[in-house]
Structure 1
Amino acid sequence: MPASNAWNINYLTLFFKRDLLLCNEHLVSVTMAEYDESWRESDLTVLFLSGAPLKNLSWEGIVDISTVQGQEKLLHSTILHNTCTQFPLDAEYRRKFLKKVIDAVESCNTEVCEELYTSYVDCLTEASTKSEFSYKSYYLHSIRKYVTLMESSIFLCSGTTGLTTWQGAKVLADWCIRNKALFTNKRIIELGAGIGLSGIIVVKSCDPLSYVFTDYHDKVLKILNYNVGLNFSELPVIHTDNSEILNDSLMLPSRFVSGRTDISVDRIDWTDEYGLNAVMKDSGVFDVILAADVVFEPSIICSLVQTLSNIMHVANQANTRCVAYVAVAVRNRETFNQFCEELTLKSFQFQELEISLPCMFYIDPIFTVKLLKIVLDTMKS
């Protein structure tokens, strides 16, 4: 299927009708008859905890909300799930979900259980003092664990778009999981890591030798550093008030370890070659560059491509073939074309890679996401 048409497919239909389930790092064939009640319930939980649009959440055929037991089961699979109580989603999102459930129960001329009403009142109170930040959790079937991130519910926050998870990051993470061998034992740097979804998933799923998360904006780096610590520290500090994170000073690079993977968070200004060289001097040569949702503003494209060039030239001098994988949600065709033209001018070779469907993370179908493999043409450079 052409990538340009890939996301014009109803995600939820694919999600429940797929015939492959990623489990224990192997693809195991299953039939629809083998989709038992508990498995489907688990997938409703997965969609809910990742903050998927409410219109895509359905409990029909999963629980019977006309009974008190069914309502309680639905609550404990979503609002009262352990992950949601420890890392709560946006209060307004939870309130709207509960209102949807209550309306559905009442339309059946059925009594709404006390626990459902209590949860709704709690969310009403919490939503009245709305916080800028909340949590979303993304399930990794291969390790049967969640990656949890603090992120902003506001598209443009504090002068940056880097405080929320964009579509390209989900596509890149999904593709990396499916192509694990390309990243195992590799030294990886991520440009414009944002709040960290792609990189955290790659470290947890692909066993790289090292991983360097980079960004530039102060607030993005603080939230990124918190999220990396939340997922990799032995005793993570859990915050419900983001002001504690944003007001703390941050010493970079910060370092973590996951198994045998060395992890660091650092600052890179794409217009500052000296700063980039300092990061490479500290971390060494890179085998892989990852980036998602970094091609959206024409004014930064030249600096981005120059940064790719600088990293790859250093690797080339060390006889290392460095490869970049860049996921782009194409919102403006002219901007994407400018990126491709700049790659050609800087002696890069690039190709569009096939994206597998369905993606294991919810993707907004209105976006076209392209994934490019980029290498330096050593004959021209």
Structure 2
Amino acid sequence: MVDFSSSPSIDEISHRCFIDVELKDVIVIRKKDAIVTNGTTGLTCWRASAILAEYIRLFCDFTDKNLLELGSGCGLSGIAATKYHNLQSSCLTDGNDYVLDQLKENVDINFPQENYISVRKLDWNINYKNQIPILPDIIIGADLIYDVEVFTGLCQTLKNFLETPNSYAILAQNIRNRDTLDSFLNKELTKQGLKYKRIARVLLHKSGHGICFEKENGNTVDCLNEVFCSNYSFDYKSKIGNEVLLAEIFEIRMNINI
């Protein structure tokens, strides 16, 4: 597997290519090189989306499911899920018009003819039923838990979509501020009748290259030269003892015991 990034153009746009030798396929992501463009961070390709894409590729089975991605940004995680799984449908969403334009381009690049993947605008503060045509079985999202101001809308959106007993969300989150993350998990989710469990910790591999998924059962899986994480730089690290914690992955469901 090889991950190529093209050189920035004059308007600071580049393309990141993720090549899977075994699948004999490639995912191309058009992105902005600046962290913030047009007042949003959603136009660049963040590391958490690569981590989530890798997790979905390695550990998930979404066969015949309807998938919804929240805060898709460049769309890497949602595009990867659609490439690697035989989904019934896939809907990638964001709330920013600039992001949506680029997201549509990325979907068109990777799925030039397929009609089972769509792009929709989704405002977390507006009733979802007027925005999304299907009720998803699976929700995914990367790096959504970063600002307390979006917590209420995000949690309400999760609650609205997780209506069926078998539906659930998988969220991957870079570890930046533990207090912010804990507030979301232990306070905001509870207010909406949601519960969570951590399903994996993502560590920098002891070699300093690649990552390691540590599952909650204690099993670990090394990803040294994988499809999505092989060439990402791993900054914003949280060191715990001799471990370098990069991200955590959570499963969220309705709390049926309430």
Going by fraction, where is helix more abundant, 1 or 2? 1
Q: C-alpha deviations, 1:256-292, integer Å up to 9, x for none?
A: 42xxxx111100000111xx11234x2x221101111
Q: Which residue of 2 aligns with 1:268?
A: 122
Q: Which residue of 2 aligns with 1:331?
A: 176
State whether residues 155 and 161 of structure 1, in contact with CA within 8 Å, keep that contact through their aligned partners in structure 2.
yes
TM alignment of 1:42-121, pairs within 5 A: 46-47=2-3, 49=4, 51=5, 89-91=6-8
Superposition deviation, residue 347 in structure 1: 2.0
Aligned match for 2:53, one of 167, 173, 187: 173
1:209 paired to 2:88:
yes
Going by fraction, where is strand more abundant, 1 or 2? 2
The residue type paired with residue 346 of structure 1 is Q
Superposition deviation, residue 178 in structure 1: 1.1
Superposition deviation, residue 338 in structure 1: 1.6
The separation in 1 between residues aligned to 2:144 and 2:222, in whole angstroms, is 23
The residue type paired with residue 266 of structure 1 is R
1:192 paired to 2:37:
no
The residue type paired with residue 269 of structure 1 is D
The answer for unaligned runs of 5 or more in structure 1 is 1-42, 52-88, 92-126, 235-255
Change in 2 beyond 3 A, CA 1:285/1:142:
farther
Aligned match for 1:321, one of 146, 166, 169: 166
Superposition deviation, residue 90 in structure 1: 2.1
Q: C-alpha deviations, 1:110-158, integer Å up to 9, x for none?
A: xxxxxxxxxxxxxxxxx7xx22211110122441221001100000111
Give % identity: 27
Aligned match for 2:247, one of 323, 346, 369: 369
Q: Which residue of 1 aligns with 2:144?
A: 294
Would you identify which runs of 4 or more consecutive aligned residues in structure 1 move more than 4 Å? none
The separation in 2 between residues aligned to 1:223 and 1:173, in whole angstroms, is 19
- Report which stretch shifted further, 188-197 or 327-336: 327-336
The two structures have a TM-score, normalised by structure 2, of 0.82
The separation in 2 between residues aligned to 1:175 and 1:160, in whole angstroms, is 26
Change in 2 beyond 3 A, CA 1:324/1:191:
same
1:148 paired to 2:2:
no
The separation in 1 between residues aligned to 2:149 and 2:222, in whole angstroms, is 33
Superposition deviation, residue 364 in structure 1: 3.0
Superposition deviation, residue 348 in structure 1: 1.6
Superposition deviation, residue 357 in structure 1: 2.6
The separation in 1 between residues aligned to 2:34 and 2:26, in whole angstroms, is 23
The two structures have a TM-score, normalised by structure 1, of 0.56
RMSD over equivalenced CA pairs, Å? 1.6
The separation in 2 between residues aligned to 1:263 and 1:214, in whole angstroms, is 11
Q: Which residue of 1 aligns with 2:191?
A: 345
SS at match of 1:327: strand
Larger radius of gyration: 1
1:278 paired to 2:157:
no
State whether residues 167 and 369 of structure 1, in contact with CA within 8 Å, keep that contact through their aligned partners in structure 2.
no
Q: Which residue of 1 aligns with 2:222?
A: 357
The answer for unaligned runs of 5 or more in structure 2 is 201-212, 214-220, 238-245
SS at match of 2:223: coil
SS at match of 2:104: helix
The separation in 2 between residues aligned to 1:163 and 1:311, in whole angstroms, is 25
The residue type paired with residue 51 of structure 2 is V
Q: Which residue of 2 aligns with 1:224?
A: 103
The separation in 2 between residues aligned to 1:142 and 1:185, in whole angstroms, is 22
